[in-house]
Amino acid sequence: MTKRRLTEQQKRRIARNKSEQLDNSTSIDNNGIQLSGTVISHYGREVVVESSDRNTHVCKLRQNLGDIACGDRVVFIPQDTTVHGVITAIEPRDNLLEKIGFGNKTKPVAANVDQVVIVCSIEPAPNLYLIDRYLVAIENLNTEATLVLNKIDLSEASHQTIIDSIDHYRVLGYTVIHTSVKTDLGLDTLKNKLCNTTSIFVGLSGVGKTSLINRLIPETNASVAEVSETSGEGRHTTTVSSLYHLGGGGCLIDSPGVRDFTPHICSKAEIFHGFVEVRNVKGKCKFANCSHQHEPGCVILQAVKDGVISDTRYSSYQHMLGDLKNTGA
Q: What is the pLDDT of residues 152-161, one digit of tens each?
A: 999 999 999 9
The tens digit of pLDDT for each residue in 167-196 reads 999 999 999 999 999 999 999 999 999 999
Same domain, 229 and 204: yes
Residue 19 lies inside a defined structural domain of this protein: no
Query: Residue 206 in contact with residue 124, Cβ under 8 Å?
Result: yes
Residue 221 lies inside a defined structural domain of this protein: yes
Q: Fill in the DSSP letter of residue 230.
A: T
Same domain, 226 and 130: yes
Query: Residue 279 in contact with residue 226, Cβ under 8 Å?
Result: no
Domain count along the chain: 3
Select from 215, 207, 225, 318 the least CA-distant residue to 272.
Answer: 318
Residue 41 lies inside a defined structural domain of this protein: yes
Same domain, 185 and 145: yes
What's residue 7's pLDDT? Answer: 62
Tabulate helix, strand, coil % of the chain (nearest 5).
35, 25, 45
Same domain, 81 and 141: no
What's residue 255's pLDDT? Answer: 74
What is the C-alpha separation between 205 and 123, in angstroms, rounded?
A: 11
What is the C-alpha separation between 188 and 25, in angstroms, rounded?
A: 42
* Domain span at 211: 96-254
Residue 24 lies inside a defined structural domain of this protein: no
119-143 as b/e: b if 16+ CB within 10 A: bbbbbbebebebbbbbbbbbbbbeb
What's residue 328's pLDDT? Answer: 61
Same domain, 100 and 166: yes
Number of other residues whose CB lies within 10 A of the CB of residue 195: 13
Same domain, 215 and 285: no
Residue 138 lies inside a defined structural domain of this protein: yes
Same domain, 146 and 237: yes
List of the chain residues with pLDDT < 50: 1-4, 21-31, 223-238, 259
What is the C-alpha separation between 95 and 138, in angstroms, rounded?
A: 10
What's residue 5's pLDDT? Answer: 53
Q: Which of 90, 109, 140 is the last residue of a domain?
A: 90
In this structure, the strands spanning 175-178 and 144-150 are parallel
Residue 64 lies inside a defined structural domain of this protein: yes
What's residue 136's pLDDT? Answer: 94
Select from 211, 206, 150, 149 the least CA-distant residue to 174.
Answer: 149
3-state secondary structure 201-213: EECCCCCCHHHHH
What is the C-alpha separation between 47 and 40, in angstroms, rounded?
A: 8
Query: Residue 224 in contact with residue 215, Cβ under 8 Å?
Result: no
Residue 68 lies inside a defined structural domain of this protein: yes
What is the C-alpha separation between 27 and 96, in angstroms, rounded?
A: 26
In 182-310, which residue ranges form alpha helices assigned H by DSSP? 187-194, 209-216, 268-274, 276-279, 299-305
What's residue 329's pLDDT? Answer: 59
Same domain, 198 and 320: no
Same domain, 132 and 187: yes
Provide the residue type at 12 as one letter. R
What's residue 274's pLDDT? Answer: 95
Domain holding 280: CATH number?
A: 1.10.40.50
Model pTM score: 0.81
What's residue 263's pLDDT? Answer: 66
In the chain, which residue ranges form alpha helices assigned H by DSSP? 8-27, 128-141, 160-167, 187-194, 209-216, 268-274, 276-279, 299-305, 311-326
